[in-house]
């Protein structure tokens, strides 16, 4: 279906914040789900992008980094242009895994985007731990200030917030208080480390996996990852899985 691009901003170099007027998607979207976007140019396959936010039951916000041909073409669109988008797709986060205790949203790099909608659903009761390489890679932390109870930022070079990784903050928190659930999205090594801490401490944890995707609806079996020893499709069975079930090394 085609929707109109109503807002476009390059928020940091090569990272674009888009809003489309898409009530059909907005009404159904759940945190952690994604849309499949026809990017135009020479890119014939759709590209998956997480739903970052839904506003006024009709606006859908997504933020993407320019990586290759598809996202480059998408970034060339302008306000008023039409975009062909399928969605919402996939299985999102399950709020009800949360037990008593602190609810943590742990994101890294472009993985912070799907956590914003989840923060809104938890209505300022969560703590977000967001990790970036350096100051110039930091995005949408002001949105998390508005939607969470606490926000910790880590950078690898210490240019902003705590120097180090999200897991440094997580380990400290685990030793200090009861954690009720962890929801995480980001680079695979980060999610693997978060999942190991969660599993070792019996904390319910969901991870949002990212694999190269083809059809987006479960037919082509391109985007598989190892879940419970079997091939699971990120697009149809995920992208969100229980951290206990994922083999990150396969
Ligand atoms: C469920 C899901 C949600 C996503 N949400 C977002 C989001 O919110 N914001 C965002 O910026 N990106 C997101 N992505 C990643 C995004 O889909 C890719 O960056 C995009 O498809 C790249 O397309 P391209 O044509 O620009 O690059 P291509 O020319 O296809 O690839 C450029 C480079 O990126 C690598 N690459 C492409 N896709 C992936 C992938 N899925 N995983 C790892 N490496 C890849 C390629 O190997 C290549 O090196 C998500 C991916 C998935 C699976």
In sequence order, what DSSP letters do the residues of 105-121 get, joined into one string?
EEEEGGGGHHHHHHHHH
The CATH class given to the 95-247 domain equals alpha beta
How many CB atoms are closer than 10 A to CB 53? Answer: 23
Give, using CA atoms, the residue closest to atom 45 of ligand 1.
212
- The alpha carbon of 66 and the centre of ligand 1 are apart by a number of angstroms equal to 9
Handedness of CA 132, 136, 139, 145 (dihedral sign): positive
Q: How far apart are CA 98 and CA 112, in angstroms?
A: 19
The CATH class given to the 2-89 domain equals mainly beta
- Each residue of 205-245: pLDDT tens digit? 999 999 898 888 888 888 899 999 999 998 899 999 999 99
Per-domain boundaries in the chain = 2-89, 95-247
Residue environment code for 135-159, b if the CB has 16+ CB neighbours within 10 A, otherwise e: eebbbbeebbeebbeebbbbbeeee
Would you say residue 44 has pLDDT above 90?
A: no
- The alpha carbon of 129 and the centre of ligand 1 are apart by a number of angstroms equal to 23
- The alpha carbon of 127 and the centre of ligand 1 are apart by a number of angstroms equal to 27
Counting from 1 in the atom list of ligand 1, the atom nearest the Cα of 114 is: 8
Q: What is the pTM of this model?
A: 0.95
Give, using CA atoms, the residue closest to atom 32 of ligand 1.
68
Give, using CA atoms, the residue closest to atom 28 of ligand 1.
68
- The alpha carbon of 108 and the centre of ligand 1 are apart by a number of angstroms equal to 15
Q: How far apart are CA 148 and CA 126, in angstroms?
A: 5
Counting from 1 in the atom list of ligand 1, the atom nearest the Cα of 238 is: 1
Name the percent of the chain lying above pLDDT 90: 90
């Amino acid at each position: 279906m085609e929707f109109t691009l109503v807002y476009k901003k390059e928020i940091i170099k090569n990272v674009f914040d888009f809003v489309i007027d898409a009530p059909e998607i907005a009404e159904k979207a759940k945190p952690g789900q994604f849309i499949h976007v026809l990017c135009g140019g020479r890119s014939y396959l759709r590209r998956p992008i997480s739903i970052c936010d839904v506003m006024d039951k009709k606006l859908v916000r997504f933020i993407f980094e320019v990586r290759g041909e598809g996202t480059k073409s998408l970034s060339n669109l302008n306000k008023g242009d039409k975009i062909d988008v399928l969605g919402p797709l996939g299985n999102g986060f399950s709020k009800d895994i949360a037990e008593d205790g602190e609810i943590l949203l742990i994101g890294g790099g472009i993985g912070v985007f799907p956590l914003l909608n989840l923060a809104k659903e938890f209505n300022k009761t969560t703590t977000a731990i967001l990790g970036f390489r350096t100051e110039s890679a930091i995005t949408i932390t002001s949105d998390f200030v508005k939607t969470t109870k606490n926000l910790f930022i880590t950078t690898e070079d210490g240019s902003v917030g705590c120097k180090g990784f999200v897991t440094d903050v997580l380990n400290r928190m685990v030793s200090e208080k009861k954690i009720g659930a962890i929801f995480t999205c980001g680079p695979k090594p980060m999610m693997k480390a978060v999942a190991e801490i969660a599993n070792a401490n019996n904390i319910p944890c969901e991870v949002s996996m990212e694999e190269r995707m083809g059809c987006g609806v479960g037919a082509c079996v391109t985007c598989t990852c190892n879940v419970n020893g079997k091939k699971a499709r990120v697009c149809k069975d995920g992208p969100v899985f229980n951290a206990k079930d994922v083999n990150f090394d396969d």
